[in-house]
């Protein structure tokens, strides 16, 4: 007590303050807090004296009306004076006064007052409150404040009772607020004053530093300081080691340190199991689960949930359900998390009816769905393409008093983007922002990817820049999207430049960037460049993925180097990877294209032998192969197989078959297949119509083709340029130039871009029929369209003019050709 009053003595403080007012006033407002005790009355302002008087006479200080009216008039100095005095006389009242100020007037007094209260709380071992007071202080001070706060504690409070405890709590609060450097500064000060830090403080610091090697310094210091370790200490180290991908070391650490001094800790085991599940070693996790029993530990709900989660992610739902039963048998009740994990497992497998069954079970248990439950359901519906159901669930959530979080919004955004409704997605982003949610790097990446997929790379880059402005930093996913957009929309060179800048500026290079580039090179037939990138991957020690190899194989197939493509199939196995449905389908497609149907079936048999499930694309390729051999009945049978297997044929499957029947001059069956598409809710594409139109032109009456074409136009069905050129060519060939002319004009009016090929197609056919007058008309239109001639079409026309004896036109054309440099002389 004496010591305490000594520090509070106004004499020393006043002396100092007389010289230091300018700087000190910042921290201490004005001289002594306890001045009221000692100094003459005129130095103590009236409200302070009045409140202190009331405090000594009345029991219920704060129920007193006149005190209540005085409080709002107090300034910071006066608050310090009251707290300082009350603190000496009546700590409880001081604390009450402090809370009253904070809760009802939103003021916390100066740092001095806060530290006074801190010491009083520490003295009464009200540690949680002490932590709150300090954490609030640190929120306001921010990082880098440790030196000034330490100085205050050192100069003004060192001799106070419980001062050691406040120091420790200050370090702890800094650590919890993730101001690690400040925490270390305070710890250093404490070491200097020989104040022992508590294990809680050490653990918190250890936790914050667990992903760095400094973790060991803290750990060594804990040992050196002789502070008794808590059960938590070791599990933090274990988690840290796992986080640094040192799983072996983590296990070794557990074996060395657990169960020797104290009972081993469940948390350590849980941490290890969770980490091993995450990297796919579920069997290892299971063995830890069993080991717990040997150590005399009973797994808790976390242990079960972690293992159930691991099983669900691996798709072993049966085992996951068994373990859930086990859990109940051992008297550990499955909780909301357990059911959410199971529901997610079924969702991942696309088994939404089972997921709903799980949720029903949960409801029967009297557990209420939470935001995560709803998010899983929304995700499941969206995944199945039913966004509308997703939005209905959003409504339900809101009516249940849940607010959608950023993850639920991301799920909805992502499925809108996948459907190509990026505009809708952007609208949803605004809705999200208006509810106060902050889109994060994932949300932005989804949108950027959506925009890039739609070819709106400029907009994507704008969003990318906006993200930077909001200090949300793009990650490799974001860059994937931009690279993808550039490679699809821009030139290959542009994409390569962006790719090079990515690989140069990023320490962690991403296999997906390489895969995107390799695929692009493969697609345009630049296998050499693709292989060069593959060599770079190997040189840099990056692990290639199955996509890398599939893209390379695709490249060799595109360049008709099938033997090499097969060699690369061997490389997949050499790298410990497994060929996928894409691998085999790519090869099968290439063999089919070259007419090697036997080879195609050989690959298919290998695929079956390796138990790789064929997809609808695989079946479509086989159908294409069968069609090539005119095995029409078999291809129709395969279509039935697809329906039966639930491997739904898509629009391309039908287009393949329709094309095949058109070629076989069976237009009836072709149209029947078209109707079947509609029955299966498959929207025929412009390609479907081109195939049918061409079929009618080649096999049937041109009038049928015309009628079909107009009916499509009447229904406002989207058609491509090919539909027009198909009909135009047919009319040219049959000699109805008038009709061809009309269609050509229509095509131009629709805004399609017309090239020399389109004119050449018409002119070629007209020339064949010696319809040179019409040729001249088309030539004129073409030239006025700004299209330049090429040598090939000129010679065709010259020959035609010569045949019909139109010398004038022949010379005119020759003159034009010389002007364009199409003739040597």
Partner DNA sequence: CTAGGGTTAG
Q: Which residues bind DNA (CB under 7 A)?
A: 239, 266-267, 270-271, 274, 301-303, 305-306, 309, 336-337, 340-341, 344, 370-372, 375-376, 379, 405-408, 410-411, 414, 418, 439-443, 445-446, 449, 475-478, 480-481, 484, 510-512, 515-516, 519, 523, 545-547, 550-551, 554, 580-583, 585-586, 589, 615, 617-618
Burial 160-197 (b: 16+ CB within 10 A, else e): bebbbbbbbbbbbbbbbbebbebbbbbbebbeeeebeb
Residue 134 vs 337, nearer CB to DNA = 337
> Tokens in use for 200?
């809680």
CA-to-CA distance for 243 and 235, rounded, in angstroms? Answer: 12
Nearest distance in Å: CB 337, DNA: 4
- Rounded to a whole number of angstroms, the minimum distance from the CB of residue 643 to DNA is 18
Distance CA 402, CA 406 (A): 13
**Closest to DNA by CB, 237 or 376:** 376
Six-digit token string for 304: 């079960």
Nearer to DNA by Cβ, of 587 and 730: the residue is: 587
DSSP symbols for 256-311: HHTTSSS---HHHHHHHHHHHHHTT-HHHHHHHHHHHHHTT----HHHHHHHHHHH
Q: Between residues 197 and 320, which has the closer beta carbon with respect to DNA?
A: 320
In contact, 667 and 696? CB cutoff 8 Å: yes
Minimum distance from residue 570 beta carbon to DNA (Å): 17
Question: Inter-axis angle of helices 616-628 and 651-663, to 10 degrees?
Answer: 10
Rounded CA separation 128/142 (Å): 21
Q: Cα–Cα distances in Å, from 450 out to 457, 469, 502, 557? A: 10, 20, 21, 29
Q: Which two tokens stand for residue 818?
A: 């010389």
Least separation in angstroms between CB 177 and DNA: 16
Rank residues 553 and 727 by Cβ distance to DNA and give the closer one. 553
Question: In angstroms, what is the minimal distance from the CB of 457 to DNA?
Answer: 15
Classify residue 484 as exposed, middle or buried by CB count within 10 Å of its CB (0-12, 13-18, 19+): buried
Number of H helices, E strands in the chain: 48, 0
CA–CA distance, 739 with 554 (Å, rounded to integer):
43
Write the burial class of residue 83 (CB in 10 Å: 0-12 exposed, 13-18 middle, 19+ buried): buried
Nearer to DNA, 163 or 232 (CB): 232
Nearer to DNA, 62 or 601 (CB): 601
Rounded CA gap, 577 and 452, in Å? 30
CB closer to DNA, 137 vs 376:
376
Smaller CB distance to DNA: residue 134 or 587? 587
Of the pair 83, 284, the CB lying nearest DNA is at: 284
C-beta of 324 vs 478, nearer to DNA: 478
- Whether residue 169 contacts residue 175, with contact meaning beta carbons closer than 8 Å, is answered with no
Among 489, 549, 546, 480, CA closest to 516 = 480
**Nearest partner of 703 among 672, 729, 727, 737, judged by Cα:** 727
CB 10 within 8 A of CB 32: yes
């Amino acid at each position: 007590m004496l010591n305490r009053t000594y520090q509070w003595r106004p004499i020393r403080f006043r002396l100092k303050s007389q010289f230091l007012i300018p700087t000190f006033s910042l921290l201490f407002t004005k001289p002594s807090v306890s001045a009221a005790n000692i100094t003459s009355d005129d130095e103590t302002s009236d409200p302070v004296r009045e409140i202190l008087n009331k405090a000594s006479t009345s029991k219920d200080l704060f129920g007193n009306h006149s005190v209540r009216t005085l409080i709002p008039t107090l300034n910071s100095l006066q608050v310090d004076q009251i707290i300082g005095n009350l603190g000496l006389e009546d700590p409880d009242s001081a604390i009450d006064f402090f809370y009253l100020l904070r809760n009802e007037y939103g003021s916390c007094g100066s740092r001095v007052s806060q530290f006074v209260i801190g010491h009083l709380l520490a003295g009464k071992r009200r540690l949680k409150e002490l932590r709150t007071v300090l954490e609030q202080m640190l929120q306001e001070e921010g990082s880098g404040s440790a030196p000034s706060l330490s100085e205050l504690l050192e100069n003004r409070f060192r001799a106070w009772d419980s001062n050691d405890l406040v120091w420790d709590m200050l370090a702890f609060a800094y650590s919890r607020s993730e101001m690690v450097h400040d925490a270390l500064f305070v710890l250093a000060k404490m070491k200097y004053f020989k104040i022992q830090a508590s294990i809680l403080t050490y653990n918190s610091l250890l936790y914050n530093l667990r992903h760095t090697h400094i973790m060991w310094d803290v750990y060594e210091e804990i040992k050196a300081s002789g502070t008794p370790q808590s059960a938590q200490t070791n599990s933090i180290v274990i988690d840290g080691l796992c986080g640094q991908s040192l799983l072996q070391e983590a296990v070794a650490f557990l074996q060395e340190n657990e169960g020797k001094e104290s009972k081993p800790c469940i948390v350590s085991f849980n941490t290890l199991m969770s980490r091993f599940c995450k990297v796919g070693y579920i069997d290892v996790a299971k063995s830890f689960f069993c080991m717990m029993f040997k150590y005399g530990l009973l797994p808790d709900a976390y242990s079960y949930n972690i293992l159930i989660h691991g099983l669900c992610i691996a798709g072993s739902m049966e085992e996951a359900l068994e373990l859930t039963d086990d859990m109940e048998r051992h008297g550990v009740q499955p909780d909301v998390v357990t059911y959410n994990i199971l529901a997610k497992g079924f969702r991942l497998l696309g088994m939404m009816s089972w997921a709903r069954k799980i949720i029903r079970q949960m409801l029967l248990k009297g557990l209420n769905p939470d935001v995560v439950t709803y998010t899983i359901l929304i995700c499941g519906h969206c995944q199945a393409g039913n966004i509308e159901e997703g939005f209905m669930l959003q409504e339900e959530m809101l009516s249940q008093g849940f607010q959608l979080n950023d993850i639920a919004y991301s799920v909805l955004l992502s499925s809108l983007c996948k459907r190509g409704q990026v505009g809708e997605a952007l609208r949803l982003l605004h809705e999200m922002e208006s509810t106060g949610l902050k889109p994060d790097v994932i949300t932005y990446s989804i949108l950027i990817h959506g925009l890039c997929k739609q070819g709106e790379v400029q907009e994507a880059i704008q969003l990318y820049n906006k993200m930077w402005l909001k200090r949300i930093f793009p990650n490799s996913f974001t860059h994937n999207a931009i690279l993808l957009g550039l490679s699809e929309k821009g030139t290959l060179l542009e994409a390569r430049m962006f790719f090079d800048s990515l690989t140069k500026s990023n320490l962690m290079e991403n296999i997906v960037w390489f895969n995107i580039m390799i695929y692009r090179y493969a697609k345009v037939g630049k296998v050499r460049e693709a292989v060069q990138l593959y060599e770079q991957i190997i040189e840099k020690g990056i692990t290639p993925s199955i996509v890398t190899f599939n893209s390379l194989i695709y490249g060799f197939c595109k360049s008709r180097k099938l033997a090499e493509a097969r060699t690369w199939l061997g490389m997949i196995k050499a790298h410990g990877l497994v060929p996928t449905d894409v691998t085999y389908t790519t090869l099968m497609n290439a063999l089919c294209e070259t007419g090697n149907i036997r080879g195609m079936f050989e690959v298919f048999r290998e695929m079956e032998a390796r138990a790789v499930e064929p997809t609808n694309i695989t079946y479509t390729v086989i159908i294409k192969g069968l069609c090539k051999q005119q095995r029409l009945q078999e291809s129709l049978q395969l279509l039935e197989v697809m329906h039966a297997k639930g491997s739904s044929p898509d629009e391309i499957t039908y287009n393949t078959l329709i094309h095949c029947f058109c070629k076989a001059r069976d237009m009836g069956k072709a149209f029947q297949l078209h109707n079947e598409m509609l029955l299966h809710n498959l929207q025929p594409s412009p390609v479907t119509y081109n195939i049918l139109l061409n079929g009618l032109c080649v096999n049937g009456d041109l009038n049928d083709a015309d009628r079909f074409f107009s009916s499509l136009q009447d229904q406002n069905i989207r058609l491509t340029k090919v539909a027009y050129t198909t009909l135009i060519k047919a009319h040219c060939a049959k000699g109805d130039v008038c009709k061809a002319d009309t269609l050509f004009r229509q095509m131009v009016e629709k805004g399609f871009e017309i090239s020399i090929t389109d004119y050449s197609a018409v002119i070629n056919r007209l020339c064949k029929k010696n319809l040179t007058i019409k040729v001249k008309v088309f030539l004129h239109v073409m030239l006025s369209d700004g299209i330049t001639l090429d040598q090939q079409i000129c010679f065709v026309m010259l020959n035609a003019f010569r045949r019909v004896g139109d010398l004038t036109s022949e010379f005119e054309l020759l003159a034009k050709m010389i002007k364009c440099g199409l003739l040597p002389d």
